[in-house]
Structures are given as structure tokens and as C-alpha cells.
């Protein structure tokens, strides 16, 4: 999916919501366990209930890998199921990969060829050759960790480097590697005060924003400080939506939460300053 198409989706659905498929077999409703693949059944029900409200889905690889072969299979089935929505949904492999060039090339193959994801999250520590193999795919995206939402983001990302903090250096440097048509940044919702600065540094780039909801980020501040004239934000919500209920009504409950979030987003999209 290219940027024009992504921006088109946002306007059409009046939403910039990404649903995080952090599907944990221990947290899904008991009644799904009768199925051969409960994780896939859960994802399918969540997708069916929310795909008109969400513009993106983000499976978190760790949750699938931790189940071994079975989890890998659930992820393959989820991606196959999402194929029918490939023009109306942007897919994100939340994998946080990154390795030397020849290895990153293999990871790119995994996510872009094998699974056919639109994008993958990538860690910046190893620098240019760990990122560029992912940028060689047309209409596929790297979502590079900039400023993450977790507590540990303060350990290294805020270090002063002489010319700005480490996360600022990452965001500046990476713009030499990829254009706003192929590169986004992860910017955690738990740092709303940084968004104005980051938006000024990377005006045309999309930001994937985790940490709204369970992690406590404030959507209004983020929109005020982080939007650009193409929206420029994809806000992820996982636990708050997919586990809105732990009963048999989980899909309806997920839809209600997604709908509430999408309605808020419509307001921000149509606010006079955007």
C-alpha cells in the first residue's frame, strides 16, 4: 500500500485506528478453545467486528512465536484472512527486527514476501545496513523505533549526543535512508510533550503511536501536537479493544470500543487546525 492509498483510507473511514492483535491464548474467551485454532478464530472475529472502523491491524509477533509452530500457523491464517481486505486495511508486523545486512534481507523476505505484510517495525541500534534491506521493497514500509512508549525508553533514547537526544538523531539520520513514502517512526503515546518537536523534525512522515489505553497515553494531546495535513498518525490500541470483554460477547465489546475510538478520531480529523 502506498501513502496516497493510506491517506485515502484514513479519510474514507474517518479513522486512524490500528488494532493490535496481541492475541494471548490465555486471555481469550474459553468458548473459543473448542476450535482447532482458537487464536485464529479470535483474530477473525475481531477483524470481522472492526474492519470498517480500523485502518490497520498489527499482530505482535512475540505472541505467536511463543506458541511455536501452532502460533506461526495462526499468524499465517490471520494474514491470509486479511488478504480480502488488502485494499482497505494496512498491515503491520510488530517484530522489531534488525540485524546485519544479509540477515535483515532474510527478515524482509519473511514479512514482505512470505506473510505479505505492508510494513514491519525495525529497531535502529545496528544502523543503516540493518534497515535498508527492508526499504528495497516497493510499496512496503519500515516503521523504525524512534521514541518508544515503555519505561525503559528513558535509559538510552533520551541520552544527549551533542546534536540532540539519541532518539532525535535516529529520526534525523533515518530520513537519509527512506522517504515519507516508505518510512514511518514509532513514537510512544506516553511522551505527548515530545510530539510537537518530533513533528517539526519529520513533517511528512507517518508516526505509529502505541501506548494509548493500557499504557496511559492521551490521544487528544497527541493529535494536537502530532498531526500533519495528511493526518500523519496511526494510533494503536490492543488490549483495550481486543480484551474489552472476556466473555462470549468479546467481538461486540471490541466493536463498541473501536467505534468509540473511531468517533473521537473523526473529531480530531475534522478539527479546524488540521
Q: Which residues bind a second copy (CB under 8 A)?
A: 22, 24, 60, 62-63, 65-69, 72-73, 76, 94, 96-101, 103-104, 106-107, 109-110, 113-115, 123-131, 145, 148-157, 159-162, 166, 169-170, 173, 210, 215
Q: Which CB, 35 or 114, lies closer to a second copy? A: 114
Tell which residue, 95, 145, 146, 144, has the closest CA to residue 117: 95
Tell which residue, 80, 115, 98, has the closest CA to residue 186: 98
Q: Which CB, 8 or 127, lies closer to a second copy? A: 127
Q: Which CB, 43 or 153, lies closer to a second copy? A: 153
Q: Provide the pairing of β-strand 90-97 with 17-21.
A: unpaired
Check if the beta carbon of residue 48 is closer than 8 Å to that of residue 11: no
Distance CA 75, CA 81 (A): 10
- Smallest gap from Cβ 270 to a second copy, in A, equals 32
- Smallest gap from Cβ 251 to a second copy, in A, equals 23
- Smallest gap from Cβ 105 to a second copy, in A, equals 8
Q: Which CB, 24 or 52, lies closer to a second copy? A: 24
Residue 96 is among the residues annotated as catalytic for this protein: yes
Q: Select which of 44, 70, 77, 96 is catalytic.
A: 96
Q: Provide the pairing of β-strand 183-187 with 119-122.
A: unpaired
Tell which residue, 116, 97, 270, 258, has the closest CA to residue 186: 97
- Smallest gap from Cβ 3 to a second copy, in A, equals 25
Contacts of 273 (CB under 8 A, 6+ apart): 224
- Smallest gap from Cβ 175 to a second copy, in A, equals 13
Alpha helices by DSSP H, the chain: 3-13, 38-50, 61-65, 69-82, 101-108, 128-135, 153-156, 166-174, 195-201, 219-226, 239-242, 250-269
Give the angle subtended at the CA of 155 by the CAs of 207 and 221, to the nearest 5°.
Answer: 35
Q: Which CB, 159 or 271, lies closer to a second copy? A: 159
Question: Which residues are designated catalytic?
Answer: 96
Amino acid at each position: 500500500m502506498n501513502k496516497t492509498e493510506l491517506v485515502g483510507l484514513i479519510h474514507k473511514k474517518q479513522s486512524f485506528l490500528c488494532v493490535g492483535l496481541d492475541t494471548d491464548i490465555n486471555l481469550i474467551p474459553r468458548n473459543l478453545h473448542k476450535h482447532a485454532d482458537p487464536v485464529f478464530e479470535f483474530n477473525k472475529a475481531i477483524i470481522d467486528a472492526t474492519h470498517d472502523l480500523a485502518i490497520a491491524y498489527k499482530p505482535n509477533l512475540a505472541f505467536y512465536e511463543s506458541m511455536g509452530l501452532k502460533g506461526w500457523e495462526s499468524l499465517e491464517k490471520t494474514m491470509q484472512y486479511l488478504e480480502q481486505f488488502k485494499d482497505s486495511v494496512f498491515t503491520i508486523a510488530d517484530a522489531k527486527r534488525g540485524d546485519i545486512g544479509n540477515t535483515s534481507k532474510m527478515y524482509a523476505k519473511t514479512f514482505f514476501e512470505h506473510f505479505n505484510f505492508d510494513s514491519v517495525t525495525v529497531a535502529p541500534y545496528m544502523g543503516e545496513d540493518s534497515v535498508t534491506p527492508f526499504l528495497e521493497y516497493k510499496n512496503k514500509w519500515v516503521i523504525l523505533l524512534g521514541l518508544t512508549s515503555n519505561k525503559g525508553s528513558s535509559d538510552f533514547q533520551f541520552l544527549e549526543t551533542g546534536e540532540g537526544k539519541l532518539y532525535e538523531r535516529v529520526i534525523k539520520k533515518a530520513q537519509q535512508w527512506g522517504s515519507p513514502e516508505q518510512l514511518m517512526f514509532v513514537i510512544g503515546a506516553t511522551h505527548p510533550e515530545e510530539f510537537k518537536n518530533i513533528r517539526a523534525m519529520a513533517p511528512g512522515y507517518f508516526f505509529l503511536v502505541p501506548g494509548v489505553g493500557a499504557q496511559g497515553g492521551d490521544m487528544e494531546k497527541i493529535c494536537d501536537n502530532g498531526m500533519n495535513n495528511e493526518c500523519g498518525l496511526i494510533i494503536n490500541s490492543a488490549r483495550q479493544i481486543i480484551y474489552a470483554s472476556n466473555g462470549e460477547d468479546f467481538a461486540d465489546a471490541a466493536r463498541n470500543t473501536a467505534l468509540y475510538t473511531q468517533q473521537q478520531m473523526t473529531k480530531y480529523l475534522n478539527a479546524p487546525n488540521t
